[in-house]
Structure 1
């Protein structure tokens, strides 16, 4: 069953165009990155191209791909996650980009290194050392990971060396160059959820005493250097998106910033390095980020940096991802009036929607014409690329 739209639903702000550097978007609706594990050997095929093109044809302004592995031995542990390296994978991505462009859409890849969370998706080679800033997985807290994985991963490993840092930085830059050469419309970095770049920001996983650790500004140094190196490589035209989060998959209650001032330290350094749009990942997009204000995490990102921001988290849904995993489905919940209110007020600039894009490839058309919201069912909508 789907939820009928209220008679007074207004979503005019969602369908205003947006320009950021060389990227022109027809509207503010973004397909949020979602791991699909449908690229055997890391090579996206015709089915992946058709999957993304369907969302572009359905009217979505911007497609952000699933996380794409950079060329590093422990970047991603699932062999069906796509790569941004190798002749076959890059040819596959060129076909994806061409298909999305032919459908009238725009597309950016989300470059990914899982860092401490190596081994969460699949069994891994025990001889390979996961990339952890200080060798720490993170103090286990509220998490959806199985207890056996948490226990296995909690044991400390060696901290990243200077050589490790150089290799990872170079791999990010090479992946960004490959993406630009494949015709992508920008670059996105996954810097949240406890993955590698986020692990430098989080005090629990970064206890280093060298220049890569210490206070909040120092902990931001490596992610900012990655951004700056990518900006230098791809030049001034392509926009750079940076996904960040307060919560971590190791602990949903974790926070990198306790106050707006602390958030400004982190995001300000990343903005100076070259980030154009902050993709603020929260479990609910409209949840107040700090006491004393109803401003969302995306709203604060824009306020403290002056850069554009994108809101994501349970748009059109009644349950955050963690709860819906347990239930297997998430009932539709029409909170688009709140999306519109905040967009119209300029609180944020883009709205990222994940699961409803799986349930309805023509989601943009559905929203624009006032159609009923689709309901997401994991057993149906995550089973295949549709």
Structure 2
């Protein structure tokens, strides 16, 4: 029997597309050649959510929104990735408020209408049996810039849709290029934490995302509060380590109030080091990250997504001769060694080959690998990596039959 029947439409969406028997990117078990399934293609369960492999699409800003709303571009962009089988997709940083955007063209989720528009993207991804989350962020003093494909260091003027940026302290990220931000008041800081919680609630209850990630890296607002290089406050949100990390923990607490945290995974991206050790001793270091990780785990965070830098132009170069020598490998390994089985660790940066990605998991550097630019270059990266490891994975029915035709 062919399996052809009237019950062949994918669920969730209100238009016809074939139902996928299993999510694309799932390793055949057993493998036709008898090989053991590599760790990259083992499933991973976090709370009530199961990812069918451990290869994720890293959040990458697309600068393709008007007034924070997604467009058909987002449906095509994320939909095409979902068809090709990553274990998880993390949607680009969505601003929790208008002034939280990096550029005027950033995605937002500060109102219900934006969340409802995102549901169309989520529904398609779910119709393919895939998992999708969203990164929630606030750009702080690095906001109100122009999209980087126009200029890497240009401020968006008010007539171009720009705005007054805010931060823990009135310190410009780039003196002479970006204006100094306005220092946030105590009541405004508390409101920001509440807005993060409200954005998480919209993400889950209206959009239908499977999980959320807090953006606390790359010199954006939470990172600015955490670091002494950008936070010169003397009140409850500055000075000591506990004070500087108060906001990020408040954000976690607000999210816990607003979503079913016992069932829904919570990720956080951190700059594990600001890469300033040689020029500024006050910069955030790996020791600070491990100290914060203990608090985040107790607060309910499941996955620590390890990145670095972004809070100072004086940071050291992250470029290394090979990925295995990359600074992020060292940082992820140190975080994983510290947290052990108390939390999962995601690695991101520069992965191009399956063998290197597999080795990071096998060596317990990380539990998940996230890929950004190489998914842009090759949306079929999951299938290519399976080929490199000499294993078979499922693919969308519309694609796979041309490679592995059914019997006549």
Q: Give the TM-score category using the shorter length.
A: 0.7 to 0.9
> Which one of 330, 349, 357 corresponds to residue 375 of structure 2?
357
Range with bigger deviation, 181-190 or 44-53 = 44-53
Q: Distance in 1 between matches of 2:196 and 2:73?
A: 26
SS at match of 1:338: helix
Q: Aligned-pair distance for 1:44?
A: 1.3
Q: TM-score, normalised by structure 1?
A: 0.77
> Which one of 239, 243, 246 corresponds to residue 269 of structure 2?
243
Task: Confirm whether residue 370 of structure 1 aligns to residue 388 of structure 2.
Answer: yes
SS at match of 1:244: strand
Correspondence for 2:331? 297
Q: 1:242 to 1:253 in 2, by over 3 A?
A: farther
Correspondence for 1:185? 210
Correspondence for 1:166? 190
Task: Confirm whether residue 137 of structure 1 aligns to residue 161 of structure 2.
Answer: no
Q: Distance in 2 between matches of 1:110 and 1:135?
A: 26
Q: 1:40 to 1:250 in 2, by over 3 A?
A: farther
Structure 1 contact 15–27 (Cα < 8 Å) conserved: yes
Q: Aligned-pair distance for 1:107?
A: 0.6
Q: Distance in 1 between matches of 2:274 and 2:156?
A: 21
Correspondence for 2:59? 33
Q: Aligned-pair distance for 1:250?
A: 11
SS at match of 2:388: coil
Q: Distance in 1 between matches of 2:76 and 2:367?
A: 28
> Which one of 341, 347, 368 corresponds to residue 365 of structure 2?
347
Q: Distance in 1 between matches of 2:157 and 2:137?
A: 17
Correspondence for 1:59? 85
Structure 2 contact 144–164 (Cα < 8 Å) conserved: no
Q: Aligned-pair distance for 1:259?
A: 5.0
Q: TM-score, normalised by structure 2?
A: 0.73
1:48-85 superposed Cα distances (whole Å, 9 cap, x missing partner): 11221221210101000111111x24111523222113
Q: Distance in 2 between matches of 1:163 and 1:125?
A: 25
Structure 1 contact 42–82 (Cα < 8 Å) conserved: yes
**Unmatched 5+ stretches in structure 2:** 1-35, 147-154, 309-317, 391-408
> Which one of 111, 124, 127 corresponds to residue 86 of structure 1?
111
Structure 2 contact 82–125 (Cα < 8 Å) conserved: yes
Q: Distance in 2 between matches of 1:230 and 1:199?
A: 20
Structure 1 contact 11–340 (Cα < 8 Å) conserved: no
- Number of residue pairs the alignment of both structures matches: 328
Q: Distance in 1 between matches of 2:190 and 2:219?
A: 20
SS at match of 2:232: coil
Q: Distance in 2 between matches of 1:341 and 1:253?
A: 33
Range with bigger deviation, 300-309 or 12-21 = 300-309
Q: Distance in 2 between matches of 1:279 and 1:355?
A: 17
1:24-52 superposed Cα distances (whole Å, 9 cap, x missing partner): 10000010111111222322123311221
Structure 1 contact 247–253 (Cα < 8 Å) conserved: no
Q: Distance in 2 between matches of 1:39 and 1:252?
A: 39
> Which one of 55, 65, 69 corresponds to residue 43 of structure 1?
69
Correspondence for 1:274? 300
Q: Which structure's CA Rg is the greater one?
A: 2
Q: What is the CA RMSD across the aligned residues, in angstroms?
A: 2.8
Q: 1:286 to 1:151 in 2, by over 3 A?
A: farther
Q: 1:303 to 1:342 in 2, by over 3 A?
A: same
Q: Aligned-pair distance for 1:246?
A: 4.1
Q: Distance in 1 between matches of 2:279 and 2:57?
A: 26
Q: 1:202 to 1:263 in 2, by over 3 A?
A: same
SS at match of 2:290: helix
> Which one of 12, 16, 28 corresponds to residue 38 of structure 2?
12
SS at match of 1:137: coil
Structure 2 contact 277–283 (Cα < 8 Å) conserved: no
Q: Aligned-pair distance for 1:266?
A: 1.9
